Amino acid sequence: MTDVVETETRVSPPRPDGLRGFASDWASDQRTFKNVSWGKAMMWIFLLSDTFVFGCFLLAYMSARMSTTVPWPNPSEVFALNIGGTEVPLILIAIMTFVLISSSGTMAMAVNFGYRRDRRKTALLMLLTALFGATFVGMQAFEWTKLISEGVRPWGNPWGAPQFGSTFFMITGFHGTHVTIGVIFLIIIARKVWRGDFDTEKRGFFTSRKGHYEIVEITGLYWHFVDLVWVFIFAFFYLW
Amino acid sequence: MTQPATQPAVHTEHQEHPIKLYLVVWGLLFVLSLCSYLVDYVGLHGYLRWSLILLFMILKAGLIVAIFMHMAWERLALIYAIILPPLLVLVFVAMMVSESHYVLLSRMTFFGTGP
């Protein structure tokens, strides 16, 4: 029995890098993700599963668009806004893209300040990120309202293939839901940061585990993923 | 996607990088987004349009995953576990492209509404 205790505390030898390290990390009888905590690893695996969800949505959209005999509505015209008498193509979507990228930038800096244990800056940057996220959802609500008032429905629209509406509402709706959940998640963690929970390692009320600034990075992973999905939606749905 | 360079093996639980790195990546993402918007604004069409859209998309996705999500500094065990499975979606894409062609052909043959 004492042997077991001994191996627990022994300092591990330096791990090989590259493919050799990959093989040895995945070898049996040990934990695979060496310097990644369970929280971070599980967030990554959740994001992987979410990738498949969005991947399937985009695939369904691709199949619908490729197999329809009716022309697909031109997104460049559908999402144009009339500004000062001229139709500017896709302008709202472009602004939404910039807003989301800005929120990713502030989130990355929040993670950085979190690890420097700068409580104030971390919380403020997270709240700024949440604000950008809320702005994004607001603009999306505006976009939905505009399209619905123009007659876009899940079963049809005035410009062409009826599948346009259903794929649009499904994909952007699911993405908007992710952004909304992210905003809530950000506000909850920002409040904890502000209160100093991670400086005192206060235990969480649900998990009763000690709080660490790492949760800021995990929140950041989720948030960057939301931005990442938007990159693909922007490319495939709006620009294609 | 850029694979991580030869980073030293020893890492602590978290990473600290200069703020400047994030600002540079942020700026790059802005430029890339602007470029992909310009593809539509200028009105490029055909293969040039599609290849530019894909190029900017992959560059943006790579920057976000590698720098913002710190994937560039993780060990290969995690990188492969997360990056490789989504690539299998491409197989699904190939299957659905073939299926879509078949559905389109059937629709044109039996409903006669083809272009």
Q: How many CB atoms lie within 10 A of CB A126?
A: 31
Band (pLDDT 50/70/90 cuts) for residue B54 is very high
**What is the pLDDT, as a whole number, of residue A83?**
82
Residues B106, B56 within the same domain: no
pLDDT band at B7 (very low <50, low <70, confident <90, very high): very low
Residue A221 has pLDDT above 90, yes or no: yes
> Following DSSP, what letter does each residue of A67-101 receive, concatenated?
H-SSPPP-HHHHT-EEETTEEETTHHHHHHHHHHH
Same domain, B84 and B33: no
The mean per-residue pLDDT over the stretch A198-220 comes to 84
Let me know whether B58 and B85 are in one domain: no
Of B74, B90, B107, the residue that ends a domain is: B74
- Position A24 pLDDT exceeds 90: no
Residues B60 and B92 in one domain: no
Q: Are residues B1 and B12 in the same domain?
A: yes
Both B91 and B52 in a single domain?
no
Interatomic CA distance for residues B102 and B91, integer angstroms: 17
B61 with B91, same domain: the answer is no
Distance in angstroms (rounded) separating the CA atoms of residues A221 and A193: 17
- Among the candidates B42, B57, B74, a domain finishes at B74
Q: Say which of A67, A109, A239 has its CB closest to residue B103.
A: A67
For residue B26, name the pLDDT band (cuts at 50, 70, 90). very high
The pLDDT of residue B99 is above 60: yes
Minimum Cα–Cα distance from A215: chain B residue: B14
- Say if residue B81 is in the same domain as residue B29: no
**Does B69 share its domain with B84?**
no
- Look at residue B109 and give its three-state secondary structure: helix
User: Residue B100 sits in which domain range?
Assistant: 76-115
Domains and CATH numbers, chain A: 40-239 (1.20.120.80)
- State how many domains chain B has: 2
**Do B56 and B1 fall within a single domain?**
yes
* Residue B115 confidence (pLDDT): 52
What's the pLDDT at A85? 78
Structure confidence at residue A240 (pLDDT): 86
Do B53 and A76 count as a contact with CB atoms less than 8 A apart? Answer: no
Amino acid identity, residue B28? L
How sure is the predictor about A170, in pLDDT bands with cuts at 50, 70 and 90?
very high
Q: Are residues B102 and B67 in the same domain?
A: no
Is the domain of B38 the same as that of B1? yes
Question: Of the given ranges (A14-23, A225-234, B99-108), which has the lowest mean pLDDT?
Answer: A14-23
Decide if pLDDT at A6 tops 80. no
Report chain B residues whose CB lies below 8 A from the CB of A14. 9-10
